[in-house]
Amino acid sequence: MEVGGVKKWLNIWKDEKAVSPVIGVILMVAITVILAAVIASFVFGIGSKTPKSAPQVSLQVSAVNDSAIIISDQGGTPIPWDHIKVIVTNSTTSWYAQLEYNTSAKATGYVSVKSGNLNIANVVNPGSAAYFNPGEQFELYNSTTTFGSSGDVITVKVVDTSSGQVLLNAQVSLP
């Protein structure tokens, strides 16, 4: 005897003949898709391109006057000079220097400005000439104008060009 369709409803749970093949097909399709994605990632190199890590350093900046700054390496991994880009910004203008190791630049400790609108004065305590090492410092200056007036705050960024990571992002007041 059927009361309100209860018997029919109970029979749905007893008739499970088609459930097993459907679940089997769904599982096979899912496994195939996952295996295809894993194989494609290995074949096409997806996921194998890990970004370069920046050197671990402790840098410090100080202002010498209204047109010169000194950047000091307080410790950490030596950085190739060719990987250093310095950006100096005040409230309206930005200057930069892409440094390079240059064997003919003896007066500046074999370091020169490859490109940019800043100049390098000297490298103090040069160790290994091709690298900016702990204990060394270098001075950058602007030969065409000043970074601002006494008391103005400038922002100095040092970027590792091989990784694109910022090694120093500091603000300093001009004396």
**Predicted confidence (pLDDT) per residue in 49-86, tens digit:** 666 788 899 999 999 999 999 999 999 999 999 999 99
Q: Which tokens sit at 52?
A: 């370069």
Q: Which domain holds residue 77?
A: 57-173
Question: Do 140 and 74 share a structural domain?
Answer: yes
Question: Do 69 and 120 share a structural domain?
Answer: yes
CATH code, domain carrying 125: 2.60.40.10
Question: Do 121 and 78 share a structural domain?
Answer: yes
Distance CA 132, CA 138 (A): 9
Confidence of residue 126 (pLDDT cuts 50, 70, 90): low
Confidence of residue 128 (pLDDT cuts 50, 70, 90): low
Residue at 23 is within a domain: yes
Distance CA 141, CA 122 (A): 10
Q: Is residue 153 scored above 60 in pLDDT?
A: yes
- Does the pTM of the predicted model rise above 0.85? no
Q: Is residue 162 scored above 80 in pLDDT?
A: yes
How many independent structural domains does the chain possess?
2
Question: Do 72 and 15 share a structural domain?
Answer: no
Residue at 50 is within a domain: no
Residue at 52 is within a domain: no
pLDDT in the model for residue 38: 84
Residue at 1 is within a domain: no
pLDDT in the model for residue 26: 86
pLDDT in the model for residue 25: 82
Q: Is residue 155 scored above 80 in pLDDT?
A: yes
Residue at 130 is within a domain: yes
Q: Is residue 144 scored above 60 in pLDDT?
A: yes
Question: Do 69 and 12 share a structural domain?
Answer: no
Question: Do 19 and 61 share a structural domain?
Answer: no
pLDDT in the model for residue 109: 80
pLDDT in the model for residue 117: 93
Q: What percent of the chain has pLDDT over 90?
A: 54
Q: Which tokens sit at 131?
A: 């690298």
Residue at 156 is within a domain: yes
Q: What angle do CA 157, 162, 163 make, to 5 degrees?
A: 75
Residue at 145 is within a domain: yes
Question: What 3-state DSSP class applies to 170?
Answer: strand
Mean pLDDT along residues 142-162? 93
